[in-house]
Amino acid sequence: MRIEILGSGCPKCRATERIVREQLQTLGLTADVVHVTDPQEMRKYQVVFTPAVVVDGRVVSSGHVPTGEEVSHFLGA
């Protein structure tokens, strides 16, 4: 599984990455987690608002810091 956190590196983006990593650990899942800050890379996903979370090429969250429950849901738990 590949998870991309899209955003400039702002506090909300960092919080999103932290929550994703915590939920992966809690659920016992492994994934490549990458923080994408390049605007050109972000445009590929047509995301208007960050932070955004992309799981295996599909945007699953955008414009807010997801809760742990939301992250668990889009990780398939």
Residues with a catalytic annotation lie at 10, 13
- Would you mind telling me the total number of residues written for the chain in this entry? 77
Distances (CA, A) of 53 to 20, 22, 28, 36, 47: 9, 14, 19, 10, 10
